[in-house]
Amino acid sequence: MLAAMNQPIPRLVFGRTGHSSTRTIFGAAALGGMKQDRADAVLETLLEFGVNHIDTAASYGESELRLAPWMPRHRESFFLASKTGERTREGAADSIRRSLERLGVERLDLIQMHNLVDRDEWDTAMGPGGALEALVEARDAGLVRFLGVTGHGTRVAEMHLRSLERFAFDSVLLPYNYAMLQQPDYASDFETLVTLCAERGVAVQTIKSIARRRWTEGDTQRRFSWYEPIRDPEALARAVAWVMARPGLFLNTSSDATLLRPTLEAAASVATALEDDAMLSDASRLGIEPLFVRGVSDTI
């Protein structure tokens, strides 16, 4: 189970970047629809827990603008990552410049190609005149330091492997939770990817740690993320601990900011390996399901 609370969140060198990041990374999609005063309170929570790595994206609503007022005072306190969903060189270059302007910074620590899973989009982004060229040019110009790739769905690990064979990315990001890893094909691809990343010094970020299931027509709760999260406090803590118990992985927090504090509290506890029967019991009791099932629900 979990040890006493109020311990610092563990840190781990983020791949070959040399940056010692908290293993819990703030998913700044949570700021996308917030007013500045609410965003300020969320960011104060990061300081309280010592979180030193922020992951945002050009497509996360007003997230970059909500972060901007914090940059003059706290830029050096955070490893700052953003993403572009553009697939062409010109589009990605414009997106990177706009992110820098919106954030009010001169340089990003990491820029990532956002959700690069579709094969046609992959061919465009990684080919001549594609987004990868813009990312490399931005790095060479000193606008970004490191390059990464992210994705959703059951094919994401397979596509990340393909991306790493084409280019030496510094990080990858993909879903990882108990329910997703019960799918043999996904689990096998994930393990292959993690092994390769360990060999090459590529950071592995994980998302959807506290996902319960997709929303259904009968759900009436307020929605702060595109999926329904786990709200049961003990089950949420176990879901976080399940990810944190595996060495070498980073956990990116949910876009539901109401669950940020309990997630960070769980991450700040010293996690030991959880027995599968505890996770299976939570899955059965709460109806936890994988968000992505091959051939059934493979997109957001």
| DSSP letter string, 122-151 | HHHHHSTTBHHHHHHHHHHTTSEEEEEEE-
Query: What's residue 273's pLDDT?
Result: 61
What pLDDT is recorded for position 50? 95
Q: What is the pLDDT of residue 6?
A: 47
According to the model, what pLDDT value does residue 260 have? 97
Token pair 């939570």: residue: 282
At 272, the pLDDT band (50, 70, 90 cuts) reads: low
Enumerate residues 6+ apart whose C-beta is below 8 A from 170: 15, 16, 17, 110, 146, 147, 148, 202, 203
What the chain holds in terms of domains, given with CATH numbers, is 11-286 (3.20.20.100)
For the chain, what is the mean pLDDT?
94
SS3 247: coil
pLDDT of 300 reads: 85
Count of Cβ atoms closer than 10 Å to residue 24 Cβ = 29
Q: Which of 67-76, 154-163, 221-230 comes out lowest in average pLDDT?
A: 221-230
Model confidence at 222, pLDDT cuts 50, 70, 90, reads confident
Residue 274 vs residue 182, higher pLDDT:
182
Give one word for 74, left, alpha or beta, with left for phi > 0 and alpha for psi -120 to 50: alpha
Percent of the chain topping pLDDT 90: 89
Distance CA 231, CA 112 (A): 30
Percent above pLDDT 70 for the chain? 96
Averaged pLDDT, 32-36 = 95
Structure tokens at 207: 């998302």
- pLDDT recorded at residue 1: 34
pLDDT of residue 229: 95
Name the pLDDT band for 117 (thresholds 50, 70, 90): very high
Please determine, for residue 125, whether its predicted confidence score (pLDDT) is greater than 70: yes
Per-residue pLDDT, 3: 36
CA distance 279 to 239: 8
Q: So what's the pLDDT on residue 277?
A: 87
